[in-house]
Structure 1
């Protein structure tokens, strides 16, 4: 899965390394459904368009990823309604790539994300606001009057904020978890730079940020959502709100 953007569009590409689309199986299914005549002459492009007709599927068994009742006709209709397009490229024995092109809106943007894990959930921090990450030594963690728990490193002294506790509504300066048992991510805010305590790091990747209409979050800490490669949704955090 890959995401890119142009001046006007967001482009999502999803590919596999399977056997490609079986055009003959696709044609036979369309004939059985009465969608085309048995002697119809179709170009390769026309054959691929059969994928987007209601009821057409070459899946013979139900698995976690196929045969679940939502056909490609539903996918195409949703993309059409959003003003987008979908293209399919397939090669026998090599795989298939589907490219979805959607117009940019105020609620859609591409973000280089730094993915962290806290309390079993994944969250996205804007990569451009992340300076570095490290596992602190217990000797480097010191309580400072008026600031709470802080961490010392070569670049100075930073306040420590536990992400799980912050999202649960705890005041900024609290960090009841053992801060050395995890990872500190140094995040740059408008007013201050803070070491955010998380359980783990899940990597860096480009994600599509979507506005989550109606989402209620503590103090507006959530800027939106991003669909990850495994289909789950990670919350994208508003760094400036988080570090207030």
Structure 2
């Protein structure tokens, strides 16, 4: 319910992209606490649609960019001649410009049409239908632009994941099957912290240092785990 309430003000008012990033970082902070995951968990793990474990969460920044792109394309392709002739002034800051993003999306769609239909997975050629840019019009073109903006955002997340030595290991798991979790599945899973408290031998000290670096409470718990193991060994 939070995202629909935020999208309308972000769409109507001139809010820069940096402010939306701050809003998303604040939301991600409380989402990590809700799920019981470490604070160092990247936003790629929560929002990437091509990750091996797909979570049912939406990115405020991605929805903001798609909303601005949808607004511009609707104004450009309006049936009213007055709206078409009026020069649009949608301000999104200096970090990301909606006009440049739409132009890049259109160029990518034209390039895909020149390249033709390709196959990237184990499906046979011709098993999936493809929409071409030159053969669509109206709402279909707007949807193609929005999908391209989403794909570019997902590609940016994958680039970020590749640069992460620990959290980006899933990019090398070629044989792993992608799994999607629903909110019902998430509520049934015990958080990592409660699992470690119930069984101190479950998590090693090195893992606690990597996952909970900078959190004094969890470091103290890691020391308790080591003391518990040493006591059992003696």
Structure 2 length normalisation: TM-score?
Answer: 0.22
Could you say which structure has the higher helix fraction?
A: 2
Structure 1 length normalisation: TM-score?
Answer: 0.22
Could you say which structure has the higher strand fraction?
A: 1
Q: RCO higher in 1 or 2 (8 Å CA, sep ≥ 6)?
A: 2
